[in-house]
Structure 1
Amino acid sequence: MKNRKSTLSLLAIFMACTITVKAQDTRLRLGVYGLNHDHILGFFSQMKKGSANIVGIYEPSRPLWEKYKKRFNLPDSLYFDDVNKMIKARKPEVMLGYNAVGKHVDIVEVCAPLHIPVMVEKPLAATLVQAKRIEALSKKYNVKVLVNYETTWYPSFQYIYNVVNQDSIGKIRRMVIRDGHRGPKEIGCSPEFLEWLTDPVLNGAGALNDFGCYGADLATWLMHGQRPIAITAIAKHYKPSVYPKVEDDATILVEYPNATASIEASWNWALNLKDMEVWGERGVIHAFDGKSVQTRYSGVKENNYSAVSIPKALQAPNNDPLVYLTAVLRGQISGEGDQASLAYNMVAMEILDGAKRSIAEGKRIVLQP
């Protein structure tokens, strides 16, 4: 009888431990650095749904914290006005950057020596100099630095990438990538966001950085990380009374040995736009948005495009930034050679830097090998 009781006790302990293990939170412990980037709204929405495990938030502005606290019913225990205290107290596994682009380097300066990976909202940095510093820190401390773009999670863009890599339209000859909207002020971005987004130092530029970065990253992805040979760009200032410090429209021509990319970034589109067209030797694929694509091949009657199709939904872990980030940090995927990777974003920063130099100098900029 005594042995039976002992067996039952051991069984009870085993079951209790099993339940505890199953109840353990397997989500990443997310630290947030800054709240003045409006894209943070998406992550707070995920937090409310339970898919984002935010363990600490650093924000130097107490009024800005109070604004988000009230909107999302956040506990004061999450808030810190000292990033080092937040890291020590909350021990985040990764830091998410939602501050000014020109301050992304500050996050990596803090996190890299502590071996804490970082994912920032696009673009990687405000300048190429900052990007190179981020890259140096990443290499020195062997820590991941990733960049989140909305377009990374578009089924239509992934469909184009797959078709091109299946050689369905032949080698890429031309890419036309258009991104933007009516303007950040016009669509109602927050004052805190506008303050740095329209600043030439804190954002590095205006529409050129804000929306040109999408095209620079996508072209680099489609070209498998190949560096361009030259950049030519023009900038327009259609609304100086609204955006006195920065350009609100930019066109960037990116030259490769056997292809070109035209990147059209603007705060002056008549509607919201994330559109990509890729021309190959034998046809063209056009994504009108994140969901719909249309194709046309040579040898088919003129104007005979395919019907607009809806590509299949992306599969995990490439369907969501948090799912992707978890897979990278858990070692399930490498996080290399894709739109979020540091290597591809360094090339994208070279493109943006070349564009700014071309505008300033009024000439074609040849990149050094």
Structure 2
Amino acid sequence: MRLTFLFFYVLFFTTVSGQNSPLRLGVISLTHTHVHGVFNSEKREDFEIVGIVEPDKELAQRYADQYGFSLSKVYNTMDEMIEAHQPEAVSAFGTIYEHLSVVETCAPRGIHVMVEKPLAVSLEHAKKMEALAQKHKIHLITNYETTWYPTNHKANELLKEGAIGELRKVVVRDGHKGPVRINISHEFLDWLIDPVQNGGGAITDFGCYGANLLTWMMDGEKPISVTAVTQQLQPENNPQVDDDATILLTYKNANAVIQPSWDWPIGRKDMEIYGTDGAIYADNGHQLRVRQSTGYDSYEEEQMVLNERPYPYDDAFSLLAAVVRGTIELEPTALSALENNMTVMEILDAARKSAKKGRTIWLK
């Protein structure tokens, strides 16, 4: 009896201890400058970076100097890092093309994966990643900056409450002056303006934001059609890819316009939602306006300044740790969820085809 009790006590203690201990996280590549986020978030103590994969030792040294980690943590390959440290999850900060290889390496080992947006370089890659995640029962999460904007969540909440009537139109605008003009690092620039490594230019880099938000707000409903046009307004800076796009989506009872661009004079990530009775303007991460129609062109406006979302919904890596630990279960339509982001990839795939062929693409 005492041995049986001792066994279950040890099992319970080990399980609870494992759930409360920091998530063992591996970082794959340092070429995407969003990687600063993982080093800053480590202070929350939800996770511990146990190993880093980066063959460029000069680049690794720059980050080591900035964040104070030892180069003994840095490995040339994923296999070496995984064998040495057995991470529970990894976060990928390399090219979008490399996302597939990360999942191919980690999924069979039962290691969960979070990638920076978008999920994949193409729908073909995305389907392979989805199949691997499902087969090996891992979480495959996509991180977007706008997922953590309290304004987007408040806007969706108000929409679902009927605050502006029935949804009719959404306009999403994302982008900046362009990778060259905002002086991103050369290791980031090298692949961001490469049509193979990034899958396109602004249409990929920023078009995914709107597709992600719309799939969430539409409760997973897919658009009926996708029509897109692209332009290259900075050929001297982006010789191989588009830098401006307009994507039109039609739904059964609404439509949406996504405007991703590397040609905005001022960086932006904002959204306008129009209903039958009013409109919601998510101007940035914290400022929101709600207008109620009072006549032909008159309205009453309420302005809000919102605080950060509650823990762990305020940080990508806190959420990742909670999902892996099983304390949070993502809905299929959630902004980070695989199901949502498979629809995002369908929309981006159709948008690229539409721009190339000069016609509307109808989704099945």
Aligned residues: 349
1:363 equivalent in alignment to 2:353: no
- Cα displacement (A) at 1:308: 2.4
1:161 equivalent in alignment to 2:156: yes
Q: 1:1-150 to 2 correspondence within 5 Å?
A: 26-47=21-42, 52-150=47-145
1:264 is aligned to 259
Question: Counterparts of 2:59 and 2:150 in 1: how far apart (Å)?
Answer: 34
Question: Counterparts of 1:45 and 1:256 in 2: how far apart (Å)?
Answer: 39
In the alignment, which of 324, 347, 350 is matched to residue 351 of structure 1? 347
- Cα displacement (A) at 1:50: 5.0
- Cα–Cα, structure 1 residues 187 and 303, in superposed 2: closer, same or farther, change >3 Å? farther
Question: Counterparts of 2:300 and 2:46 in 1: how far apart (Å)?
Answer: 40
Deviations along 1:89-143, one digit per CA (max 9) or x if unpaired, are 1111111010000110010000100011100000001111001111111111111
Larger Rg: 1
Q: 1:179-258 to 2 correspondence within 5 Å?
A: 179-258=174-253
1:339 equivalent in alignment to 2:319: no
Question: Counterparts of 1:31 and 1:69 in 2: how far apart (Å)?
Answer: 15
Question: Counterparts of 2:220 and 2:19 in 1: how far apart (Å)?
Answer: 39
| Letter matched to residue 220 of structure 1 | T
Question: Counterparts of 2:118 and 2:337 in 1: how far apart (Å)?
Answer: 12
Question: Counterparts of 1:142 and 1:63 in 2: how far apart (Å)?
Answer: 36
Would you say the 8 A contact 2:292–2:301 is kept in 1? no
- Cα displacement (A) at 1:155: 0.6
Name the structure where strand makes up a greater proportion of residues: 2
Question: Counterparts of 1:48 and 1:137 in 2: how far apart (Å)?
Answer: 32
The secondary structure found in structure 1 opposite 2:33 is coil
Would you say the 8 A contact 2:89–2:113 is kept in 1? yes
- Cα displacement (A) at 1:63: 2.3
Deviations along 1:299-330, one digit per CA (max 9) or x if unpaired, are 35734341421134311221211221122111
Question: Counterparts of 2:199 and 2:27 in 1: how far apart (Å)?
Answer: 22
RMSD: 1.8
1:4 is aligned to none
- Cα displacement (A) at 1:59: 1.2
Question: Counterparts of 2:32 and 2:335 in 1: how far apart (Å)?
Answer: 20
Deviations along 1:19-38, one digit per CA (max 9) or x if unpaired, are xx999972211101111101
| Letter matched to residue 222 of structure 2 | R
- Cα displacement (A) at 1:49: 6.5
| Letter matched to residue 88 of structure 2 | E
Question: Counterparts of 2:323 and 2:163 in 1: how far apart (Å)?
Answer: 30
Question: Counterparts of 1:27 and 1:100 in 2: how far apart (Å)?
Answer: 27
| Letter matched to residue 357 of structure 1 | K
The secondary structure found in structure 1 opposite 2:121 is coil
Deviations along 1:78-98, one digit per CA (max 9) or x if unpaired, are 111121121111111111010
1:326 is aligned to 321
Question: Counterparts of 1:24 and 1:212 in 2: how far apart (Å)?
Answer: 37
Question: Counterparts of 1:297 and 1:359 in 2: how far apart (Å)?
Answer: 36
Question: Counterparts of 2:201 and 2:154 in 1: how far apart (Å)?
Answer: 30
Q: Normalization by structure 1: what TM-score? A: 0.91
The secondary structure found in structure 2 opposite 1:29 is strand
| Letter matched to residue 260 of structure 1 | N
Would you say the 8 A contact 1:43–1:52 is kept in 2? no
2:279 is aligned to 284
Question: Counterparts of 2:189 and 2:178 in 1: how far apart (Å)?
Answer: 10
- Cα–Cα, structure 1 residues 138 and 299, in superposed 2: closer, same or farther, change >3 Å? same
Identity across aligned pairs (percent)? 42
| Letter matched to residue 363 of structure 1 | R
Would you say the 8 A contact 2:55–2:77 is kept in 1? yes
Deviations along 1:261-282, one digit per CA (max 9) or x if unpaired, are 1000000101010010111121
Unmatched runs of 5 consecutive residues or more in structure 1 = 1-17
Question: Counterparts of 1:46 and 1:316 in 2: how far apart (Å)?
Answer: 12
Would you say the 8 A contact 1:127–1:204 is kept in 2? yes
Would you say the 8 A contact 1:294–1:305 is kept in 2? no
